[in-house]
Chain A
Amino acid sequence: MYNSIEDARPGAIANLETPEHLTRDWLEGRIFGAEKKGWAGEKDFKIVGALSGATKRTVEPVGPHFLAHARRSRHNRTFSEDERLQAQNNVKKTETEEDDDISEDEDPMMLAREAKDWKGQDHYAVLGLKKYRWRATPEQIKRAHRKKVLRHHPDKKAAQGKSDENDSFFKCIQKATDLLLDPTRRRQFDSVDENADVEPPTKKLTGSKFYKAWNPVFVAEGRFSNKQPVPTLGDEDSTQEHVETFYNFWYNFDSWRTFEYLDEDVPDDGESRDQKRHVEKKNANARRKRKTEDTVRLRELVDECLASDERIKKFRQQARAGKDAKRLAKEEEIRRLKEEKEKAKAAEEQRKKDAEEAAKADREKAKKAKEAAKNASKKNKRILKGSVKDVNYFAAGEPSAADIDGVLTDVDLIMGKIDVDELAALAEKLTIAGTDSAAVKTAWSGEAQRLVDAGKLKAGEAKVFV
Chain B
Amino acid sequence: MGDAANSASTEAERFAIGISFGNSCSSIARISPEGKAEVIANEEGDRQIPSILSYIEGEEYHGTQAKAQLVRNSGNTVAYFRDFVGKEFKSIDPTPCHQSAHPQQKDSTVAFTIRDTESETPNTVTVSEITTRHLQRLRRSASDYLGKDVNAAVVTIPTDFTDAQREALVASAKAAGIDVLQLIHEPVAAVMAYDARPEATVTDKLVVVADFGGTRSDVAVVACRGGMYTILATAHDYELGGASLDQIVIDHFAKEFMKKHKTDPRENARGLAKLKLECEATRKALSLSSNAQLSIESLVDGVDYGSTINRTRFELLAGKVFSQFTGLIQQVVKKAELDVLDIDEVIFSGGVSHTPKLATLTSNIFPEKTKILAPAASVTAVNPSELSARGAAFQASLIQEFEHEDIEQSIHPMVTVAPHLTKAIGVEFTSQTDSNFQPLLGAETALPARRIAQYFAPKEGGDVLVRVCEGARDIKVTKPEPKAKEDKPAQDEDDSDFDSEDEEEEEIREIVWKTENPVAELSVKGVKAGSKIEVMVHVNADLGLQIAVREVGAQNAVRGAVNGSA
Listed A/B pairs (21) with beta-carbon separation below 8 Å: A8-B226, A20-B201, A25-B455, A25-B532, A26-B438, A26-B456, A30-B432, A32-B457, A34-B465, A46-B560, A47-B562, A51-B421, A51-B545, A56-B420, A59-B417, A63-B394, A74-B409, A74-B410, A228-B148, A231-B4, A249-B1
Partner of A59, one of B229, B394, B520: B229
Is the CB–CB distance between B446 and A59 below 8 Å?
yes
Interface status of A378 (Cβ within 8 A of chain B): no
Interface status of A79 (Cβ within 8 A of chain B): yes
Dominant secondary structure of chain A at its interface with chain B: loop
Q: How does the 8 Å CB contact mask read for B180-197 relative to A, with 1 for contact and 0 for none?
A: 001011001100100111
Which chain A residues border B538 with CB–CB below 8 Å? Answer: 79
Is the CB–CB distance between B201 and A19 below 8 Å?
yes
Is the CB–CB distance between B4 and A66 below 8 Å?
no
Q: Which 10 A-B pairs rank lowest in CB-CB distance, beginning with the nearest? A: A65-B227, A30-B431, A45-B560, A19-B202, A54-B419, A33-B430, A70-B410, A32-B464, A60-B229, A61-B411
In this complex, what residue of B is CB-closest to A2?
Answer: B454
Which chain B residues border A33 with CB–CB below 8 Å? Answer: 429-432, 465
Give the shortest distance, in Å, between B455 (CB) and chain A (any CB): 6
* Alpha-carbon distance between A32 and B464 when the two chains are bound, in angstroms: 5
Is the CB–CB distance between B451 and A51 below 8 Å?
no
Q: What bracket does the count of chain A residues touching chain B fall in?
A: 35 or more
Which chain A residues border B429 with CB–CB below 8 Å? Answer: 26, 30-33
Interface status of A194 (Cβ within 8 A of chain B): no
Is the CB–CB distance between A48 and B520 below 8 Å?
yes
Interface status of A52 (Cβ within 8 A of chain B): yes
Q: Which residues does A use to contact B, with CB under 8 Å?
A: 2, 4-8, 11-16, 19-27, 29-36, 39-41, 43-67, 69-74, 79, 226, 228-229, 231, 241-242, 245, 248-249
* Alpha-carbon distance between A451 and B408 when the two chains are bound, in angstroms: 106
Is the CB–CB distance between A61 and B182 below 8 Å?
yes
Is the CB–CB distance between B543 and A50 below 8 Å?
yes
Is the CB–CB distance between B228 and A66 below 8 Å?
yes
Given A57-B417, A69-B446, A79-B538, answer yes or no on A23-B453 (Cβ-Cβ < 8 Å).
yes
* Alpha-carbon distance between A33 and B229 when the two chains are bound, in angstroms: 36
Is the CB–CB distance between B399 and A67 below 8 Å?
yes
Which chain A residues border B228 with CB–CB below 8 Å? Answer: 59-60, 63, 65-66, 69
* Alpha-carbon distance between A389 and B195 when the two chains are bound, in angstroms: 141
Which chain B residues border A30 with CB–CB below 8 Å? Answer: 429-432, 436, 458
Is the CB–CB distance between A228 and B188 below 8 Å?
no
Which chain A residues border B453 with CB–CB below 8 Å? Answer: 4, 22-24
Is the CB–CB distance between B456 and A27 below 8 Å?
yes
Is the CB–CB distance between A13 and B198 below 8 Å?
yes
Which chain B residues border A25 with CB–CB below 8 Å? Answer: 454-456, 532
Which chain B residues border A4 with CB–CB below 8 Å? Answer: 451-454
Partner of A21, one of B148, B185, B204, B523: B204
Is the CB–CB distance between A57 and B409 below 8 Å?
no
Is the CB–CB distance between B398 and A64 below 8 Å?
yes
Given A20-B201, A26-B429, A66-B229, answer yes or no on A56-B417 (Cβ-Cβ < 8 Å).
yes
The residue in B35, B202, B455, B545 that gathers the most chain A C-beta atoms within 10 A of its C-beta is B202
Give the shortest distance, in Å, between A292 (CB) and chain B (any CB): 25
Interface status of B482 (Cβ within 8 A of chain A): no
* Alpha-carbon distance between A128 and B191 when the two chains are bound, in angstroms: 45
The residue in A51, A73, A79 that gathers the most chain B C-beta atoms within 10 A of its C-beta is A51
Partner of A45, one of B391, B419, B522: B522
Which chain B residues border A31 with CB–CB below 8 Å? Answer: 429, 431, 455-458, 464
Is the CB–CB distance between A26 and B411 below 8 Å?
no
Partner of A6, one of B226, B414, B423, B456: B226
Is the CB–CB distance between A62 and B447 below 8 Å?
no
Given A39-B521, A52-B517, A60-B184, answer yes or no on A21-B202 (Cβ-Cβ < 8 Å).
yes
Given A23-B454, A65-B202, answer yes or no on A51-B13 (Cβ-Cβ < 8 Å).
no
